[in-house]
Amino acid sequence: MKNILITIALMIIAVTLIAESNPVNEYVTNPGFDKFSTAWNFCAGKLAEDSTQINIKILMANLALMEANRIAKDVNSGFVSLNAGSKFQYANLLLGLSKFEEAILVYDDLNLNYPNWSCPWRHKGEALYNLKRFKDAEVSFQKSIDTNPNHYDAYVWMAKAQYQMKKYKPALKNVEKAMTLNPEEEESSDEEISDKEVITLHEALLKKTGKKK
């Protein structure tokens, strides 16, 4: 968050040159949805005047990230009262903000109460993977696969975790299983893993297992 504020502060200097009244500065000083909306619309207006202003685009990206962090913090105190779908979306928000430990706590809650729901297991595995807890991630991905044998992303992420642990043969088996599945048939839309990433991983595993020089 500190780095975000520093970046925004630098962007404010640039925006100040454009207008004396600065809604971006007002949002940073006292963040809230209404001030965010005003700051966002202000920046959007500047882009409408000149779409080549890269500094404004960067500022808007940082504003969005700051607001997402603010909302996540606001939701945190009452997340236990959310329904399952909202909890899952909240956990995914935390995952997207790289708040991996916090996300895992919410996924844990979902795993406990909905153990046969594949997606929270898969996403918790991703959070664990990003924390370099590859063995724990492997367990979580396996749970995802056990509850949905056609969960494309779970196989790919499992292969990635196993690659990190030098379990190349099972990793190759999992990525090749993923390649037989249609990602669009999953029970929910996970963040898409590019075909290029899967092919690159497959090629690396073929070399690691001696099946390709």
Q: Where are the domains of the chain?
A: 2-76, 79-208
CA dihedral 196, 198, 202, 205 (to 10 degrees): 110
Strand runs labelled E in the chain: none
Whether the CB-CB separation of 39 and 23 falls below 8 Å is answered with yes
Output the pTM of the full model: 0.76
Query: pLDDT grade, residue 19 (50/70/90)?
Result: low
Q: How far apart are CA 190 and CA 153, in angstroms?
A: 7
Q: How many other C-beta atoms are found inside a 10 Å radius of the C-beta of residue 44?
A: 12
The tens digit of pLDDT for each residue in 91-130 reads 999 999 999 999 999 999 999 999 999 999 999 999 999 9
Kindly state the tokens that stand for 14.
Answer: 């640039």
Q: How far apart are CA 74 and CA 189, in angstroms?
A: 26
CATH 3.40.920.10 fits 79-208, yes or no: no
- Is the per-residue pLDDT at 2 higher than 70? no
Q: How far apart are CA 198 and CA 209, in angstroms?
A: 16
pLDDT score at 17: 43
